[in-house]
């Protein structure tokens, strides 16, 4: 029976994607069920759950350390399970506390079906990596976060890709940042994430120095890092590229426009999105839901919708 075929787990799929030295894993940032569905419908093979998008969408608050483990884990679980053949890389901020708390975070992300998570070295009162005046924890504290993640992974049966992110470049410089990433890799981190890269030269050097460990590029629109295409990032040596703000910015701009049109014109003209409701429901899995219902012998949707 079709359902008995053992599918590779999301983390197995991701490990294979990342292991391809000639490829680059392209991950659009998504922040909720709809943005994830649209990305899946567009054909992306890996997704990224943005903490920033989670903060603005779930809390209506900025990315300044307000999302809790529960907010992030619930969002990640929802997104990761829409299509388990497409792995999810999820933001885990600082891990939300000391070593024990980081361990809980890793365990909960693993149980939620998340394929990879990233942990950073900002203080708990963190902020978006592309803002000014970030505060950092000591190297020892950061490494204890990574060690806690690695230890929890080996304690549980299962797997998760651990991505070490450092925010030190802004205030402590390139050498310190690279050193923290190298030490994280020595402890067991699988992927390196140098936040806030400023120049192409830094990008190239980081990929070269950290090789063969895969390095992730954070392509934030309007952020501090150089604008790179997928092809350019690949050429520089990156093996993963995330577009964290792609969906949240698009939604923000489109919603703003639609709200202003209705408020100003007292009307909602055709060009502001007249699609039948079923179009969006289809992208959100309507056909599969109907198929499942019919196969169960229910006749709820026999007459169509």
Ligand X SMILES: C[C@](O)(C(=O)O)[C@H](CC(=O)O)C(=O)O
From 153, 165, 180, 239, active-site residue: 165
107 binds ligand X (CB under 6 A): no
Residue by residue, what is the 3-state secondary structure of 213-254? CCEEEECCCCCCCCCCCHHHHHHHCCCEEEECCHHHHHHHHH
From 32, 77, 120, 167, active-site residue: 120
Q: Distance (Å, rounded) from C-alpha 78 to C-alpha 246? A: 19
94 binds ligand X (CB under 6 A): no
Window of 49-57, 66-74, 150-158, 281-289 that interacts with ligand X by CB under 6 A:
49-57
Q: Distance (Å, rounded) from C-alpha 98 to C-alpha 124? A: 10
* Out of 128, 210, 216, 240, the residue judged to bind ligand X by CB under 6 A: 128
How do beta strands 25-30 and 215-218 pair?
unpaired
Question: Binding string, 231-270, against ligand X, x = CB under 6 A?
Answer: -------------xx-------------------------
Q: CB of 89: closest distance to ligand X in angstroms?
A: 10
Cβ neighbors of 173 (< 8 A, separation 6 or more) are none
Question: Binding string, 182-221, against ligand X, x = CB under 6 A?
Answer: -------------x----------------------x-x-
- The answer to whether 243 and 28 are in contact (CB under 8 A) is yes
- The answer to whether 193 and 218 are in contact (CB under 8 A) is yes
Q: Distance (Å, rounded) from C-alpha 203 to C-alpha 198? A: 8
Q: Is 71 a catalytic residue?
A: no
Interface residues with ligand X (CB under 6 A) are 29, 50-52, 63, 91, 128-130, 195, 218, 220, 244-245
- Any idea which residues carry the catalytic annotation? 48, 63, 91, 93, 118, 120, 128, 165, 195, 218
């Amino acid at each position: 029976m079709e359902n008995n075929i053992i599918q590779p787990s999301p983390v197995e799929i991701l490990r294979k994607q990342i292991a391809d030295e000639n490829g680059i894993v392209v991950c659009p940032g998504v922040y909720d069920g709809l943005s994830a569905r649209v990305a899946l419908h567009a054909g992306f093979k890996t997704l990224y759950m943005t903490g920033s998008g989670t903060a603005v969408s779930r809390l209506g608050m900025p990315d300044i350390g307000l999302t809790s483990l529960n907010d992030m884990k619930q969002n990640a679980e929802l997104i990761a399970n829409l299509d388990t053949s497409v792995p999810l890389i999820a933001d885990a901020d600082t891990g939300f506390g000391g070593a024990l708390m980081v361990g809980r975070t890793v365990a909960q992300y693993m149980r939620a079906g998340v394929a990879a998570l990233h942990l950073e070295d900002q203080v708990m009162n963190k902020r978006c990596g592309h803002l000014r005046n970030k505060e950092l924890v000591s190297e020892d504290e950061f490494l204890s976060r990574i060690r806690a993640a690695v230890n929890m992974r080996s304690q549980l049966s299962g797997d998760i890709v651990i991505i070490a992110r450092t925010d030190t470049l802004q205030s402590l410089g390139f050498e310190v940042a690279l050193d923290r990433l190298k030490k994280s890799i020595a402890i067991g981190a699988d992927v390196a994430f140098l936040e806030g890269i400023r120049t192409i030269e830094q990008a190239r050097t980081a990929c070269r120095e950290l090789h063969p460990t895969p390095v992730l590029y954070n392509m934030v629109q309007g952020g501090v890092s150089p604008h790179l295409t997928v092809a350019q990032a690949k050429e520089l040596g990156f093996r993963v590229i995330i577009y964290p703000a792609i969906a949240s910015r698009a939604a923000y701009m489109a919603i703003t426009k639609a709200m202003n049109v209705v408020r100003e014109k007292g009307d909602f003209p055709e060009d502001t999105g007249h699609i039948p409701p079923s179009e969006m429901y289809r992208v959100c899995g309507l056909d599969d839901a109907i198929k499942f219902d019919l196969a169960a012998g229910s006749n709820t949707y026999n007459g169509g919708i």
